Amino acid sequence: MNPNLQNLIELQKLDDVIRGLEAEVASLPRKIAEIESQLKTHIQQVESDKHALAENQKTRRRREGEISALRDKISHFKDQSLMVKTNDQYKALLHEIEFHESQIRQIEDQILGEMIESESLERKLRDAEVKLAEERTQAQSYIAAAEQRKREDEQRLAQVRSERSAIKSQIAVEIYETYERIAKGRKGEAVVAVVDGTCGGCHVHLRPQVFSEVMSSDQMHTCESCGRILYYIAMQTADEIAAQAPAGTTAGTNE
């Protein structure tokens, strides 16, 4: 096989690995940020639940204070009723006592409703705190693993880029420039295998003459449809070509 073509094939494999690693390195901080954002939202929700429960308890204490004050007034009115001299004065005090007792009943009803609400808030808060603790543990584990993966990817990237530089140095300048131009226009895929007479990039069937030249000639050929550089390895199926893809690449069709 033409040495330049062989080097281009290796270069394409390395570029595929580089793209995959770069994509993962770029995506990991975003995923970490998403996890942290979700965790922050749930922390804020727990704090909101705590605040709601505290406000409920504060309101109940205030109402209990109001009841205590009303009872003091009722006690005072009862003491006064023992000293009044007229029936009208006595009736007026009884009216005040009944009015304040009705206020106490209203406030007690409000407190009862708030106690029921408090029980619901406490259950909700307990459940939320348990879930938050689990989520925090999972988030910390995921973030630690993602950061480790990012470091490993960056180390692998440095290694693959070094290998790429070594391959690039063995390719003629004009051929490398052609490779770069095609790769730029074809989402990074400049060199593809011919499988069953079909371009591995655009999947268009080659003309018999072109297919024959790709198989037998030591010269480089490009697809008449998509312009990608073609190579042929006998007795390989599409599945076998895919199985040879370097780790970190993602299968897909780039027209």
Q: Read off the amino acid at residue 125.
A: L
How much is the pLDDT for 253?
A: 41
> Domains, the chain, ranges and CATH?
3-168 (1.10.287.1490), 173-243 (no CATH)
Q: What is the CA radius of gyration of the chain?
A: 40
245 DSSP assignment? S
DSSP states along 214-232: HHH-SS-EE-TTT--EEE-
Tokens representing residue 147 in the block:
């950061």
Separation CA 184–CA 13 (nearest Å):
15
How much is the pLDDT for 248?
A: 47
Q: Over its length of 255 residues, how does the chain's per-residue pLDDT go in tens digits?
A: 788 899 999 999 999 999 999 999 999 999 999 999 999 999 999 999 999 999 999 999 999 999 999 999 999 999 999 998 899 999 999 999 999 999 999 999 999 999 999 999 999 999 999 999 999 999 999 999 999 999 999 999 999 999 999 999 999 999 999 999 999 999 999 999 998 899 999 999 999 999 998 988 778 899 999 999 999 977 545 565 566 555 544 434 444
How much is the pLDDT for 240?
A: 57
How much is the pLDDT for 255?
A: 47
CA dist list (Å): 69 to 55, 94, 133, 178: 21, 17, 43, 91
**231 DSSP β-pair partners:** 193
- Given a contact cutoff of 8 angstroms between Cβ atoms, the answer to whether 132 and 46 are in contact is yes
How much is the pLDDT for 246?
A: 54
DSSP states along 155-200: HHHHHHHHHHHHHHTTS-HHHHHHHHHHHHHTTT--EEEEETTEET
Q: Is the dihedral of CA 126, 130, 133, 136 positive or negative?
A: negative
**Residue 38, C-beta contacts closer than 8 angstroms, at least 6 positions apart:** 135, 139
134: exposed, middle or buried (Cβ count in 10 Å: 0-12, 13-18, 19+) = exposed
DSSP states along 80-96: HHTT--SHHHHHHHHHH
How much is the pLDDT for 236?
A: 47
Q: Quote the longest CA-to-CA distance of the chain.
A: 130
HSE of 26 in the Cβ direction (CA atoms, 13 Å)?
6
DSSP states along 121-165: HHHHHHHHHHHHHHHHHHHHHHHHHHHHHHHHHHHHHHHHHHHHH
How much is the pLDDT for 84?
A: 87
Separation CA 206–CA 172 (nearest Å):
27
- Given a contact cutoff of 8 angstroms between Cβ atoms, the answer to whether 39 and 135 are in contact is yes
How much is the pLDDT for 2?
A: 83
